[in-house]
Copies of this chain bind each other. A is one copy, B any other.
Amino acid sequence: MASSSHCLSSAAHRSIRRTCVNCALSELCVPVGLDQQDMERLDQLVDRQQPLPANAHLCRVGERFSSLYAVRSGCFKSYRMDREGRERVLAFHLPGELMGLDAIYPGVYQSNIIALDVGGVCALPYNDLSHLAAQIPRLQEQIFRLLSKDLSAYAWLAGDHSAEERVAGFLLDLSNRYRERGYSDRAFNLAMPRRDIANYLRLATETVSRVITRFEREGLIRTERREVQLLDLDGLNQRANYCLQVSG
């Protein structure tokens, strides 16, 4: 909506001009590996939107697909409704991650995306991005890779894991992603309620709760509401029983 060159009244705008060049997430996000000149071309098409309040929708199933969204801050959740109106959580998105990739094929958003807390996104108009990608091989490459990466993530979710494997895998996945972002991989805050975790892992809320309690009793983790500490990464890895873990 508002481009960062206008309305410089708010504190956020006064600090530094928000560009991909300045963005701490550019090493994780789309522009990874671009030189300054290409980054500036990308910069011009990025629409840095106003922060969304918690529980605000970024897009909804069925809307015409126009932009991919990159998380700038906060945590987002994408989900669908099944025929009976039950929610199906598909993914959680941390800063630096790209959302809406599954909408490219059908040209219509395939999921609702909602902010779990206040969160900011950059909108990347798909047509422009696709056009630019044709001119910047590294950008095209990066989009291929991000799509491919999501495939691996879904492949894990689609595996037939036990409740323990799922919960342990979920915690380790978050741990890895937080580490990549420069945060602690041993202690972090779950942005989402247990219900959403359970839904994402295709378990009942009660089951997630029980497994967490069990892990806690065994000294693998410590929890205090949504604060989590991972005390024994090796032990968790054993419980997760990861068959194939892609790093980086």
Hey, which bits of chain A sit against chain B, CB under 8 A? Answer: 61, 80-84, 88, 90, 101-106, 110, 130-131, 133-135, 137, 140-141, 143-152, 154-155, 157-160, 202, 241-244, 246, 248
Tell whether, in the assembled complex, residue A243 and residue B130 are in contact, meaning their CB atoms are under 8 Å apart: no
Closest to A139 in B: B134
Query: Majority SS of interface residues in chain A?
Result: helix
Complex contact A81–B137 (CB within 8 A): no
A204 to chain B, nearest CB (A): 10
Minimum CB distance partner of A133 in chain B: B140
Q: A102-B152, A151-B102, A160-B202 are in contact. Are A130 and B134 (CB under 8 A)?
A: no
Q: How far is the CA of A106 from the CA of B149 in the complex (A)?
A: 8
Q: How far is the CA of A244 from the CA of B135 in the complex (A)?
A: 34
- 11 CB contacts below 8 A, A to B, read A81-B243, A82-B243, A84-B241, A90-B155, A104-B148, A105-B146, A110-B246, A130-B140, A133-B134, A154-B154, A154-B155
